[in-house]
Amino acid sequence: MSFTTGGVWVEGGLLVSEKMHFAVIGIEKNILDGLLTAGTLVKLRSMERTPVKTGVLKNSHTVEVDPAKMEVEISANTDYAKYVHEILEYFHSVGEAKFLEKAFKSSTRDIVNILFDAAKVDNVQ
């Protein structure tokens, strides 16, 4: 089978188009997996920095991937998380304010590498 695209005659065009479709699907799945991996890395690093009194805040961290938006959300889910995170004047014998933000900033190179590796396509047959 062949077809014309942009004035160029393509032999085996349907096969090429089909392989490209499966490659894109593979890339999207790999990127979603990479987002989960990167999000989990940031979550763990944030948990290491999270102030601990009872452990509730530390254990409230979650990672959620939205496939439709190709986004990942990392959060600490307690009523008081934003106060512990944002108020720099609070004293913490364990952990620090801005725990999630600092975890993200310290992980940017790793995040880029994870997503770069995830975007690679395995050999399409």
Q: pLDDT digits over 97-113, tens only?
A: 999 999 999 999 999 99
* Residue 122: pLDDT band with limits 50, 70, 90: low
Stated as kind and residue range, the H or E segment containing 74 is strand 71-76
The pLDDT of residue 25: 77
Lowest average pLDDT, out of 12-26, 32-46, 57-71, goes to 12-26
103, amino acid identity: A
Using left for φ > 0, alpha for ψ between -120 and 50, and beta otherwise, residue 107 falls in alpha
Terminal Cα-to-Cα distance of the chain (whole angstroms): 18
The DSSP result for 83-115, as a single string, is HHHH-TTS--SSS-TTHHHHHHHHTHHHHHHHH
pTM: 0.80
- DSSP 8-state code for residue 119: T
